[in-house]
Amino acid sequence: MHVTLRAALRSLRSQQLLKTLLGALRESNRSAFRVVHYSVQHNHLHLVVEADDQAALSKGMRSLAVRVARRVNRLLFRRGRFWADRWHGQPLTSPRQVRNTLVYVLQNHRKHAALAPSAILDPLSSAQWFTGFAERVPVGFRSIGPPAIRTPQTWLLQFGWLRHGRIRFAESPRRIDS
């Protein structure tokens, strides 16, 4: 499932929030619900998640959203609504759709100009731990913080998407509904 969570704040990429945000993502992983990849943008998160069933997905997303909201609100000494709206999820059902989603999530910094145009990978994503790039990850590149992801368990996210080729650093996100 490709999940988008929009925040009411526009500062998710700030150094002040990152440790708290990524810690909450990491702690949301369970055996029945797994965050497989992520990308933090200024006012939203893109996640690729796996869940054993619909109930695990609902419970996992509710838990993740509440955990992030409570921790960030506490950190910023604020109260009230953190998320701008409910999470939006797109089921991933084909190898091509999974590959397009992986490009979208891992290369989303290109779409939002979150980094300098010359940046190859986004340190506020799970790119460091992604093993499906066509090129080697540049020496010295590090995603911020310890891994907040789990190893994928489904065939589609482990191997199926590779039918359409590894992801090149030069690829940019596009519509992902195909």
Query: What pLDDT sits at residue 1?
Result: 96
Tens of pLDDT, residues 130-157: 999 999 988 888 888 888 999 999 999 9
- Domains of the chain and any CATH numbers: 2-164 (3.30.70.1290)
Average model confidence (pLDDT) across the chain: 90
pTM: 0.91
Q: Which of 125, 127, 143 is nearest to 135 (CA)?
A: 127
Q: Are 64 and 22 in contact (CB under 8 A)?
A: no
pLDDT bucket at 178, cuts 50 / 70 / 90: very low
User: ∠ CA(30), CA(25), CA(63), 5° rounding?
Assistant: 60
Average pLDDT rounded to a whole number, residues 113-129: 80
